[in-house]
Amino acid sequence: MATKSVGPDVKLTLGQYLASIREDRDLSQRDVEKATNKVVSNAYLSQIENDLIKKPNPNILHALAELYAISYENLMERAGFVVPTRSRSGAEKRHGRVATFADHNLTAEEEAELVQFLGYLRSRKKPGGQS
């Protein structure tokens, strides 16, 4: 699958997210089919990853969450099944999100480089949110 580029403020689609996690785990779509005992067929997974199916069956999402060791709730929300609670305070909204790369297998060195790059990006911002 060709990687789709997105800007820093754009959230990945469910399909893009699942494809990135699968690739991070070094699995093919056929590997996923085998590992889930055909609960998730490679054809169905391909359709999800290419955004042809935007709201897959929750059982499929559960199987993928288990295999990839990621949050089932996050997948459900990305698929549009769970609506975020609006009663959260501002602090919870700001710090309650999972880090963008939390589900990827990053080395300690990669994490340190990401933190360093974030510091660089923040140092470039001018007051008022302009770069």
Per-residue pLDDT tens, the chain, 131 aa: give them.
444 444 454 688 999 999 999 999 999 999 999 999 999 999 999 999 999 999 999 999 999 999 999 999 999 999 998 666 655 444 444 444 445 666 677 777 777 777 778 777 777 765 665 55
Domain boundaries along the sequence of the chain: 14-78, 105-131
In degrees to the nearest 10, what's the CA dihedral of 85, 86, 89, 93? Answer: 70
Q: What are phi and psi of 60, to 5 degrees?
A: -65, -45
Q: How far apart are CA 23 and CA 17, in angstroms?
A: 10
Give the number of other CB atoms < 10 A from CB of residue 40: 24
CATH 1.10.260.40 fits 14-78, yes or no: yes
Instruction: Calculate ∠ Cα 42-43-45, nearest 5°.
Output: 65
